[in-house]
Chains A and B, each alone.
Chain A
Amino acid sequence: MKIKRCSMMLSFLLLSGCVETDVIDDILMAESEGYDYIGNDKVVGTITMPNYAEGGVSGSGGGGLPSTAAMMNSASTITYDGRSLVEVLQKEGQKTITAGKLRLMLFNQAYLQHGLNKVLHFRNQDPEVGRDLFLAMVDGSCFDLLTGSYLTAIPISRYAYDLIFQNEQKNFPQTNLKSFFYNYYGYQTDPYMPIIKKEKQHLVITGVALLKHDKYAGRIAGENNVFIFKALMETFKYGFYDYEFKPGEHIALENVSSQIKYAAEAGNSPEPRITASLKIIGYIRQGNPLLTTLDYNTSIKKNLQKELESKMETMVSQFQEKRIDPLGLGDLVRSYTRNFNSSSWKDRYPNAHFRAHVTIDIAETGVSK
């Protein structure tokens, strides 16, 4: 009995001892990667690590090292395309750099134009990094964005992550690596990602970059357009649409709930028909002092519906012209069609008829009359 117990205890001890360890104080955890394409299959790669410069170890009486203040917080190098930056930058690392906590992958526009497939394939193959990180395009250079100084003390990776996360609860469509892969590997879908930009000492999210499989194919800029894109994409709760009903006269519609439903007909014909019906329940947050509730509910509402409908149809027809499908309309048609002919879909997609129906329900108009 004793032998059994002893061997049991021993085996647990041995199990914990048979592989390498990473002590959290002794490693650098890369939280963001930036890829700047400079031509000729060469990239400038930048990674950042959080740097907690909080002074000395409390209770150490002034002795010892300051906790992690001496840790480097970014590194960059020129390397070839499609390589893990963490591996390349190991030689610059003051301590072992690990990629496990990666939160952000940034690319400049040139990189997107060059094509993402190498880095994406690598990321999919990699067991170390999670799938809830954000991919984003940077207007300008990733190096400048990641190594710049900002009006905040939190590390840049966290700052940019929070910025994207916050906005994806509002007007911007949700994109993490998981949904990106979904669209990237999907047969009738194309991925998209947010665009961020450094403006002086701030970060701004400016739009959505559209990709054709793995290459840049254009962008959606402006909050209103992004709102429409998101409304077509998913059901969501927070968002603002700014409607100019007369020159210089605006109302802001706050989205309490929006529901998008699609239907498709004649999926195997040369000209499939797709209908989207969008239902928005909204608040009016800011409007002309002379307007009354009745005014909102009659002409303004009707015009707003029409505007949204026409903007949606234009947006989709632009996608069709570029032959990209970020909304996954092809996949939608497939799910509505028996024996869907996927090989000819690429040719039929530009001819598809897209109609949008918008109904807006203005629930409240604020607390004053």
Chain B
Amino acid sequence: MENVKIDETRQVSPVNTLFLVLGMQIGISILSFQRVAAQNSGYDNWVSVALMGLSTLGVMWIVLRLLHNEESYGQPELFSMQKRFFGRWIGTLLNIYVMSYQFSVIVIFMRGYIEIIQVWIFPRLGTLSFAAIFSIIIWYTVMGGFRAITGTFFLSFVYLVPLHLLNILAIGNAHFSNLLPMFEHSIGDLAQTFMKMGPCFIGFETILYFYPFIKRPQQAGKWCYFGLLTTTALYLTLSLVATVNFSPGELKTEVWPALSFWKSIHFPLVDRLEYIGIVYWLCVLIPNVSLGAWIVSRGIKISIPLIRQKYALVFVMLMITLSCALIRDRQQFDWISHWIANIGLFCMYVYIPFLLFWQWLLKKKGAKKD
């Protein structure tokens, strides 16, 4: 099991890591992070957003390093890695932990999307029925294998380009004076915003799971960094758009500033742009949840080799559907997403560097034995 080489017909070329990294980072929080970002550091929030984006480059370096080192020992992916590092039992426990984290992330994403549909378009939409039907689509995608999932990531990237170009429309009546005077907020305020930006940027660490599925992984590195830089640029523009378009007091009242911004755009044929934007967001949701479900089902397969991935997937989809229906209102949703974000931030900045350190320790120990 440990050293199975992934068949080349199931691998994707290194360029695709750009779409995978980018796609996983764009989630539901892109529509709402602006208000949260402005809470502590007002019109300086873009500084935090930029710093966060740049810091992800560092984390990515650690992740790639970790995976690259691992190649000579076994399967370069987190599940096998944890088993090797910490032994079978603790490793499996940790695997279950990261699986449940990944599972909660996709549940939150899916539930967040359903919430937006319920608030903006169809208040009478049943959470369970939508989640169930949607799970079938996800199931179909994941059954196509990792390549099919990557395809949806590429498509979501292409589809979203026009939507992100809409930000240009903000320039017309922007209040650029909102950005002045710059750098007035203290480092403490900026750090708080930095912490709150976690949920936007997490997602790129999923490369820990699909790394063996990349052909010529040495070349994937630069595409990962390109992906991260693109996301940073995107988040930066969106936070600037919100700052120049809404007065500080107004931004405090908007739950989804991006949607409210789209709400004020009006084309002759398309009266209400945000409806299109919301429906469009489906092509962000599909790849994200697909990859999440793929990771979790693969995790189950690796932990319990008796279960085949396709049966694990059915179980995962059922669980996602049920969990979505269990989150009833916004309080619960906020509470869960708050915790998930904190755990994600911890994973990124503490746990992953720790893994690299541990790997180095093991290597040293191994060298001593020889």
Contacts and interface: CB of A to CB of B under 8 A. Distances in A.
Interface of A: 4, 7-8, 10-11, 14-15, 18-20, 100-101, 124, 127, 130-132, 174, 176-179, 181-187, 189, 331-332, 335-339
B283 to A, nearest CB: 14
Contacts of B271: 100-101, 130
Contacts of B87: none
Contact of B126 (A18, A100, A337): A18
14 contacts: A7-B140, A11-B133, A11-B134, A14-B129, A18-B125, A18-B133, A19-B124, A131-B260, A132-B266, A185-B246, A185-B252, A189-B247, A331-B178, A338-B181
B264 A331 contact: no
Contacts, number: 90
Contacts of A15: 130, 133-134
Contacts of A132: 264-266
B250 A185 contact: yes
A335 B177 contact: yes
Contact of A182 (B124, B137, B250): B250
Interface residues of B, number: 38
Interface in B109-151: 119-120, 122, 124-126, 129-130, 133-134, 136-137, 139-140, 143
Contacts of B266: 130, 132
Nearest to B272: A130
A339 B173 contact: no
Where chain A touches its partner, the secondary structure class is: helix
A15 B132 CA distance: 10
Interface of B: 119-120, 122, 124-126, 129-130, 133-134, 136-137, 139-140, 143, 173, 175, 177-181, 184, 245-250, 252-253, 260, 263-266, 271-272
Nearest to A121: B253
B247 A335 contact: no
A181 B265 contact: no
A189 to B, nearest CB: 7
Contacts of A332: 177
A71 to B, nearest CB: 20
B321 to A, nearest CB: 12
A127 B248 contact: no
B246 A182 contact: yes
Given A130-B266, A189-B247, A335-B181, A4 B143 contact: yes
B263 A331 contact: no
Nearest to A4: B140
A123 to B, nearest CB: 11
B272 A336 contact: no
Nearest to A186: B247
